[in-house]
Structures are given as structure tokens and as C-alpha cells.
Chain A
Amino acid sequence: MIRIFEKEFNSFLNSLIAYLVIGVFLTAIGLLLWVFPENVMDYGFADMDTLFSMAPFVFIFLIPAVTMKSFAEENKMGTMELLLTKPLSDWDIVLGKFGASFALTLVALLPSLIYYFSISALGNPAGNIDTAGVIGSYIGLSLLALVFCAIGILASSLTVNQIVSFLLAAFLCFIFYTGFDKLATLSGRFALTIKQFGILYHYEALSKGLIDSRDVIYFLSVAGLMLLGTKTVVGSRQW
């Protein structure tokens, strides 16, 4: 697994993908937080809500772009046959690829900590920021990235075409993020249940700074389910 992880991560670093992802993410978030109207300066409160409410939308586009290549290209180039005839289990391959995509996303997320320190310093008095809320939000955002990466990997395993993989992943991420939430507003009786299927409900709960095991389990189980699906797709050659 570690070999696949290394190979995938190196391939991100050796191509433009890694730098592009990090650059685009930080630029987009930076603009939304500091420059565009209704930024943190206009707002007057030392908090990072803009970052945490906008980052998932940036991820909806960025993460599928990171993951779209992972299986689609191997399937297309025939290198999947090479990997699958090496002493690697299907899980090794799936988790290695998933891990590399997730790690890249975390690397992109890491520099945004600077915004925390700068906003904290701008507070009156300095340091007047809801640190617990920020920590909870970062954990929530990481878990959200985890789920998006798993969705992206699954979408990539289903096709040989990277564009199809990207669109499918972006669409699924969107559905999981806000789709269920919007759906809930349409239905009367089961509104809460449907809402709880979506990511937004659990993400907002974590943003308050309260790490509820139910929310964490939700994220982990959705990601696990997606990876299980991917493993099944990879193993389907045996059917």
C-alpha cells in the first residue's frame, strides 16, 4: 500500500497537479476571505466562517480533479493489469491511491492555518477568536475532504474517461454536500432523516466545535462505503 501511495503522491508532485491544486485552493479561499465583498474586514468579526462555508464548494471542483486520474488512466493505459498481477491486494491499490489524494488535499489545506493566526491577531483584543470552533471546523473540513476523495476514487474506478470521472465525482460530491439538505426542505415528515444523510448537517455540527462521535462516524462510514464500492469495482474483473 505504501508503495502505491508513494507512487501516486510522487506523480502529483512531478506533474503540475499538486501545485495547481494548492495554488488554486489558496487563491480561491484567500480571495473569498480577504478581498471579495463581504470579506472578514467588512464583516467586523474575527471568525473564519467564510473559509469554512466556501471551502467545501472549492473542494467539490478540486478534489474530483485530483482523483479523476487515479483509476481512469490506469484502466485506459492497461497499467491496471500490471498492478493487479503484482503481489498487491485490491485494498493495497485502492487505499494507496485514496491516501495519496487525501494527503494532497491536506497539504493544500495546511497553509490556510496562516489565516487563522492572522485573523486571530486582528481580533480585538488580539487572540479573540473561537479557537474550539476553528479546530472543530478543520476536523470537519478534513473529514469532508476524506469523503470527497473516496467519492472521487469510486467515480474514477468506474470509467476509463477522466472527464466522465470528474463530472461524476463533482456531481456526487454536490449531491452529498447540499443535495440531501435541499431535498429535505421539499419533504415534510422525513425532513430530518433526509437531512442527516447529507454532509452539510454533520459538517455544521462539527463547525460548532463539538466533536460528536455520531458525526465522525457518519463521515468515516460514508468514506468507507465509497472505498468498499471501489474495491468491489476493482475486484469485478474476477466475476
Chain B
Amino acid sequence: MSLQIQNLTKIYGQQKAVDNISFAIGEGEIVGFLGPNGAGKSTTIKIATGYVPPTQGKVTVGGYDVVQQPMQVKKIIGYLPEHNPLYLDMFVHEYLHFIGGVYQMPARLLQPRIKEIIEMCGLGREQNKLIGSLSKGYRQRVGLAQALIHNPEVLILDEPTSGLDPNQLIEIRTLIKKISYNKTVIFSTHIMQEVQALCDRVIVINHGQLVADDLLKNLVEQKGNSTVTVVEFKFPVSQDDLSALPGVKKVIAEGNQFRVFSKEGEDVRPELFRFAAEKNNSLLSLKHEENSMEEIFKSLTISPPA
């Protein structure tokens, strides 16, 4: 097991940031660590990287306990912290040299490795620039490069794509996909599509508790057995009338719109048309949604703490 978390609890003052979660990640897996903001993702990651100690529970990385043998753990981890802190007054090349030195890489190996990493992360043109003068996307690449310089067994990325524009987002995702070859990667995000684009397995936490740990396709199957139709009428209608329609599982009102959840395998759209016609009402919009990633995310994380 590359990363094993057993009954991990972290309490900050009065607040339980992480509440008794356990999971294990095998070698070579890419796992998305998902949850809304403030769910405890970063706290879990900070514990796994040895930055803060757990209140209770045990975390091992590559077989080393993070509390007992922090140095060994830190050597095999590559970590990109949230918000990607960097020394803005250093040059890209200089910075990678410094980080490589911190990992005690011999100078003979370090030079070719820096070259390789710069190539891999697409920093070729920027390598002699000040980090402070780089755009956010390139800074993120530098952050990834420093996490990768010592060829770590385990790569931990805390929200690697937050705050990037759509193009940069795709570039960084592609890059993560490329570098994740042969490594155990765990990355946190609150964007479902990201998980879909990058990995097979997903761990979802909410309010510090583990709410799902499964392959993505299983989650889609379990949660995806109803489709959603978003409908808007010209004149007000009652929610109860909609719920009474055949094939409808439940209805949620969202302003003027209704989200109509249909039962498995049924299409409620003809019913909705008929309903509108009967009531002399007009349909303003009717949108059929496949059970989207957002829907799964919502259904997993919207519930209040147990």
C-alpha cells in the first residue's frame, strides 16, 4: 500500500476537521480526493505530508509512519501545496536546483534531471525567468516540477488546478496525466469533471467524514439511476401537481424552474408537455440532463453532517 490512512481524526480547537476516516491507496493508483470547500481535504493532505500531526489515527506512506519516521516519508513524497507557494524572487532553474539540493540529489544527477523536468513540464522557454514574472499556469508547472524533481513514489497534489483559466486547466490536467505514469497520485479537487478526466477511483469526503470511496463508474451507476429534467413554465404551477405525474420520483423547485427526477428508465418529458397543455400553461424551457457529475457530487455532499 502506498498510502494508508486508518481512523484519522484531526481536531482544531473545538472543530473536528477530519472525523475518523480510513482508506488505502495502492501503488500506481490515481485517486481523486473530492469534497466541497472546507470538507477536510487539505487537512488530510497536510497530515499525510507530515506538516501537521494527527489528533488520532495512523497514516503511513510507503510503509513509513508519518509521525514516527517523518524524514523517510518526506523523501518519497512529492507535494504541491494548496495555492502553490513559490519563491517569487528566484529563477525557475535556480529554484529547481535548490529543491533538488534539499532532497540531497548529487549534483551530477541533478543537472540532467532538471533539464528533463523542465522539458517534461513544458517550462523550456520560461526556465531563465523569475518565478514572480510567470503567469499562473506556468507557476503551477513550476510547482509540479518541484514536486517531481526527486522522482517521488507518491505524488500529492492539493487543488492543482484551482484558479486556472480553461486552457491552462486542460494543459495542467494533461500534464498531470502524463507525469502520473508509474506513480501513486492523489489529488484533491472540488471539481467533478477533473476526477472524470484524470482518474478511475474517487474518494469523497464531506464535513470531515468519508462519504464515498469507489470507482467512478460504480458511483455513476449507483447514483445515476435517475435522470433529471429541468423545466420552466410560464405560469406558476404547484410542485405537488408535478410530483403526481407518472414516472416522476421527486421534484425540487429552484426559483421559477423545477428539477424533475424521473424513475429509472422513464422519460418524463412527454408527460410534462401533456401537463402543460392540460393546464393551458406554456413550457418556457425543457432541458434533459444526463445524471451529471455535479448531480452525483451534490447528492453525496449536500447532506448535513450526521
Does A associate with B in a complex?
A: yes
CB contact under 8 A between A237 and B52, given known A7-B98, A77-B85 = yes
CB of B63 to closest CB in A, whole Å: 16
Chain A contact residues, majority secondary structure: helix
Listed residue (B50, B71, B75, B85) with the most chain A CB atoms within 10 angstroms of its CB: B85
- Using C-beta atoms within 8 Å of the partner chain, give the interface range for chain A: 20 to 34
Task: Encode B70-98 as 1/0 by CB contact (under 8 A) with A.
Answer: 01001101010101011111100010001
Total contacting residues, chain B, CB less than 8 A = 27
In the docked arrangement, what's the CA distance between A15 and B98, Å? Answer: 17
In the docked arrangement, what's the CA distance between A14 and B98, Å? Answer: 15
- Please report B residues at the A interface, Cβ cutoff 8 Å: 46, 49-53, 71, 74-75, 77, 79, 81, 83, 85-90, 94, 98-99, 101-104, 146
Contact at A238–B101, with CB atoms within 8 Å?
no
Which of A55-85 touch B at CB < 8 Å?
Answer: 77-85
Residues of chain A with a CB closer than 8 A to B86's CB: 77, 79, 82
Residues of chain A with a CB closer than 8 A to B53's CB: 238
Pick 16 A–B contacts, CB within 8 A, sort by A.
A3-B98, A4-B102, A77-B88, A78-B83, A79-B85, A81-B51, A83-B102, A84-B51, A85-B51, A85-B81, A86-B74, A86-B102, A87-B74, A89-B71, A237-B52, A238-B52
Contact at B99–A86, with CB atoms within 8 Å?
yes
**Residue on B with the closest CB to A77?**
B85
Contact at B81–A87, with CB atoms within 8 Å?
no
Residues of chain B with a CB closer than 8 A to A15's CB: 89
Contact at B49–A82, with CB atoms within 8 Å?
no
Excluding A3-B98, A80-B85, A87-B75, 20 further A-B contacts by CB distance (< 8 Å) are A3-B102, A6-B98, A10-B94, A11-B87, A14-B89, A15-B89, A77-B88, A78-B83, A78-B85, A79-B85, A81-B51, A84-B50, A85-B49, A85-B50, A85-B81, A86-B74, A86-B103, A87-B103, A87-B104, A88-B102
